[in-house]
Chain A
């Protein structure tokens, strides 16, 4: 079946502009995660949705970052007044609900990422 998809694959913007990054999770996956991966680093957690609600947004770096998942499927990560330091690959992942037993069900499937470059 289809995996996690993210659009756009690449986004170049100017400092101060607003950007939206979209994530389309695997059908039926109720949990959705956003991570940010800077060059040479491991992914860093941003926000986690269980259904429509943000269960944990502790990783959002500041109030310029916001994410929504209004219908419990597609999610949009929104960044206002972009800064050069926001340049990174933004990864989205989805998984079945964590309340299922067993290890394999907790696996997070990652999308290909959106490479954001802020000039």
Chain B
């Protein structure tokens, strides 16, 4: 069963607008972590933001925030004030804490920021 689902293969956003990238996950564990990574065309994986399953507040890192809805098992990434440099692939990932440190990734969403 797919554990991380990203339903948007591609998204467009106008520069300076906000955009939400969807991510839903499936786990029976109570303790887990959710991550978002950015992968530009250069191929490097860049960590953006982390949310622990026991964190009561949504994580924020600069222009990135994670809209964590535990009951719905969703962990959407919100990028505010989009910039041209935000154009990249975005991957949602989960770590189940009783499964070691391995990350399970979604299929990714390709974000294109229009000037």
Contacts and interface: CB of A to CB of B under 8 A. Distances in A.
B55 interface: yes
B45 interface: yes
A65 B8 CA distance: 33
**Interface-centre pick from B4, B97, B102 (highest chain A CB count, 10 A):** B102
**Interface-centre pick from A31, A33, A45, A56 (highest chain B CB count, 10 A):** A45
A110 B45 contact: yes
**Interface-centre pick from B55, B59, B103 (highest chain A CB count, 10 A):** B103
A103 B105 contact: no
A113 B95 contact: no
Chain B at the A interface: SS class = strand
Contacts of A113: 43-44
Chain A at the B interface: SS class = strand
B100 interface: yes
Contact of A42 (B47, B100, B105): B105
A6 to B, nearest CB: 11
A48 B102 contact: yes
A interface, size bucket: 20 to 34
A43 B102 contact: no
A106 B51 CA distance: 11
B55 A33 contact: no
Contacts of B50: 103-104, 106-107
Contacts of B35: 107-108
B105 A89 contact: no
Contact of B47 (A44, A59, A107): A107
Given A31-B101, A98-B100, A110-B44, 5 more contacts: A33-B103, A93-B45, A103-B51, A106-B33, A110-B46
9 contacts: A33-B101, A44-B105, A56-B99, A56-B100, A59-B102, A104-B50, A107-B50, A108-B35, A112-B44
